[in-house]
A and B are shown apart, each in its own frame.
Chain A
Amino acid sequence: MIATPATVSDPVGFHLRAAGRIVKLAKTFDAEVTVRFQGRVANAKSIMGLASLAADCGSVVDLEIEGPDDAAAAAALVRLIEIDLAHPEVPEG
């Protein structure tokens, strides 16, 4: 299992679109990804779960990744949360 923090870079936090991008990416991996923030827990493959974490810009969420492709999943998700979400004009995948 890999555990890593990630700082939310989206200017408006985990809004629905950002959550949607995370879900889409998480679903490309077999690993289970759990996101924790301020005592709340969500599965990274659940859009409403992620959205209801209410993590805003600059806050730090904790990721737990468990599965055969955990290393790749961790790298990709941290990059998305910390860097790519900051750019609203990045086209949706």
Chain B
Amino acid sequence: MRILRGIPASPGTALAGVHHVARELPVVVRAELPAADLDREVERLHGALTTARAQIQALVARLSADLGPEGAAILESHLLILEDELIVDRAVALVREQSCNAEAAFHDAVAEVAARLLETEDGYLRERVQDLRDVEDRVLRALMGLGSGRLVGPATPSVVAADDLAPSDTAAIGARNVLAFALGAGSRTSHVAILARSLGIPAVVGLGDAVAELRDGDLVAVDGDRGEVVLQPDGETVARFRQLSQQQLTVNAKLDHLRDLPATTPDGRRLGMLVNIEMPVEVEKALACGAEGVGLLRTEYIYFQRQTIPTEAQQLEIYAEIMRGMAGRPVVFRTLDVGGDKVQRYLGARKESNPFLGWRGIRFLLANRPLLKAQLRAIYRAAAGGPARLMFPMITGVEELREARDVCRECVAELAAEGLPHDPDLEVGIMIETPAAALVADLLAAECDFFSFGTNDLVQYTLAMDRLNSRVAYLYQPVHPAVLRLLRDATAAAHAAGIRAGICGEMASETRYAEVLLGLGLDDVSVHAAQLPKIKQVVRWTPVAEAQGLLADLLTRRTAAEADRLLADYLAEKKRRRAEAAGPEVPDGA
């Protein structure tokens, strides 16, 4: 038995065989050839280029139906790389100049172009080295007579192990038969981690090179709460993990009866229970957990999944699919929120010294009108098929909101002139994630239809703590008096103006803050689907008066630590009381 330690990225446990996915470059063996063989070597290279071209064309045909035309656009650029004189002519010249084999020459030619890209300051271009490697891999495989090496998902329930998975890889693998992820690279905020949490699939990331030890078919135990992967588990471990999976099922079954019940407190206040999602595939899980709507559709994934900007028509297709899936329930579309910790591949933004204070969110959108308008038009058109809502990120004041709404009006006028079906009156809301927005909430509330607190950023900006810097991570304090006051006052401002206030940050998905949010008087919470039944359970047990009392007590505390202790004591006492009352078990953990 051997235990590999990584970063816990998504909770839960799994015990299953490994399905290892890898895209390793074939190893290039350099050979010197006699002058007489060089013509044949060049022929061999051209033959491999033809094979690669045929493979890509076949993929284009398949992907057009599968991932849409934008997937095909990536592959079309790969076709152009196969014809690029910088690579092909150079590789041919290298074969002749160095009397070397085609594999070595092609590898060197690609390396030269990759070096050119890596010299640029442009993050997007540096990422394009991936495309070059992809093409190189294909050509080398053709030269060596190997298969095409496409990533495929597991055929039986498995733990998916890989060095790293790009968003497009995850899309290719799908969620079917995936019991857990074990990855060499990644952090809690990497794409796979977010996806795994939203789908309720356990994940351990950051395992490093040790992930190579996970071989196909090996039985492994994954503990997504502790960030551990157990190789060759002994009998006792196997038994323990079997039991854990069983308990998980029992807890889920206990909460299952809540699915169709409203989140209503014993004294009759109802809280809207919404989910955060990123893609259509999550809709099914969301509904199974009892979601009453989507409180946050992060549209970044729809952009990052592709390496080209999705067109209005492509976006509309995806948005309409989500609206259909949600069957008349509201869906809040947050416009593209790039910047900060979100890598902007093809979107072309530069490395910034303070990315969280830089060109992100609404600032980026207003500076990229064609991109913003394509997205807004797609959302307005999707709204013809159900109650879609629009939400702008990173608002700091009324000016940005007005400018954004002007663009909305422009889009509506265009759509009307073009005679395209759309909903001109869809609700427009904003994220409250900067202290500035919270402080002028009364001014903002007068000009929009709803608020949603983005607490990850609100905490970060209020307490001036970089949430990616582990040395100041201790300052992530959602119950810090400064944060609580902003939440309280902005919620009051929303209600005074007669608009709704909700929350979609991580704070909402943690069961320990559920009573605090209830006490704030929020109208709805938007959480990870897997957390929804647990939060609903807490709401159904907690009278509003009690939650308000708790919040009032928290607001009297002078430090975050004191507030935190008060909250911990309250939760412990509540758990004890419930145990005494011998009611149903209180589910643990966030």
Contacts and interface: CB of A to CB of B under 8 A. Distances in A.
Given A16-B307, A52-B125, 20 more contacts: A11-B309, A11-B348, A11-B370, A12-B348, A15-B124, A15-B125, A15-B308, A16-B128, A17-B308, A20-B73, A43-B85, A43-B86, A45-B85, A46-B85, A47-B77, A47-B84, A48-B116, A54-B121, A57-B348, A91-B69
A56 B348 contact: yes
29 contacts: A11-B309, A11-B370, A12-B347, A13-B348, A15-B346, A15-B348, A16-B77, A16-B131, A17-B73, A20-B73, A43-B85, A46-B84, A46-B86, A47-B77, A48-B81, A48-B87, A48-B113, A48-B132, A49-B84, A49-B85, A52-B116, A52-B117, A54-B120, A54-B121, A54-B125, A87-B370, A88-B309, A88-B374, A91-B311
B313 interface: yes
B22 interface: no
Contacts of B80: 20, 23-24, 47
B77 A20 contact: yes
Contacts of A47: 77, 80-81, 84
Contact of A52 (B113, B311, B346, B368): B113
Interface string B103-145: 0000000000100110111101100100110000000000000
Contacts, number: 93
Given A12-B124, A56-B348, A92 B117 contact: no
Chain B residues touching A, majority SS: helix
Given A43-B85, A48-B84, A16 B116 contact: no
A13 B73 CA distance: 17
Nearest to B310: A88
Contacts of B120: 52, 54
B371 A11 contact: yes
Contacts of A86: 370
Contacts of A87: 370
A54 B126 CA distance: 10
A89 B121 CA distance: 27
Nearest to B309: A88
A86 B121 CA distance: 22
Interface in B345-368: 346-348, 368
The 10 closest A-B pairs by CB, nearest first: A12-B348, A54-B120, A89-B311, A47-B80, A17-B308, A88-B309, A52-B116, A54-B122, A20-B77, A16-B77
A38 to B, nearest CB: 10
A56 B84 contact: no
Interface in A62-93: 86-89, 91-92
Contacts of A12: 124, 309, 346-348
A46 B109 CA distance: 14
B506 interface: no
Interface of A: 11-13, 15-17, 19-20, 23-24, 43, 45-49, 51-52, 54, 56-57, 86-89, 91-92
A25 to B, nearest CB: 12
A13 B308 CA distance: 12
Most B-side CB within 10 Å, residue of A17, A43, A47: A47
Interface string B326-356: 0000000000000000000011100000000
Contact of A89 (B116, B125, B312): B312
Contacts of B466: none
Interface residues of B, number: 36
B76 interface: yes
B371 A48 contact: no
A62 to B, nearest CB: 18
A51 B76 contact: no
Contact of A51 (B121, B125, B309, B371): B125
B113 A11 contact: no
B32 to A, nearest CB: 28
Interface string B287-311: 0000000000000000000011101
A89 B313 contact: yes
A23 B309 CA distance: 19
Q: Which of B80, B113, B308, B347 has the most chain A CB atoms inside 10 A of its CB?
A: B80
A24 B348 CA distance: 22
Nearest to A27: B83
B380 to A, nearest CB: 15
Contacts of B69: 91-92
Interface string B272-298: 000000000000000000000000000
B374 A89 contact: yes
Contacts of B116: 48, 52
B76 A20 contact: yes
A54 B131 CA distance: 16
Contacts of B73: 17, 20, 92
Most buried by B among A11, A20, A48, A51: A48
Task: Tell which of A15, A23, A46, A57 has the most Cβ of chain B within 10 Å.
Answer: A15
A56 to B, nearest CB: 6
Contacts of B84: 46-49
Given A12-B347, A57-B348, A89-B311, A17 B77 contact: yes
B310 to A, nearest CB: 8
Contacts of A57: 348
A54 B308 CA distance: 16
A58 B222 CA distance: 50
Nearest to A53: B120
B158 to A, nearest CB: 34
B352 to A, nearest CB: 14
A48 to B, nearest CB: 5
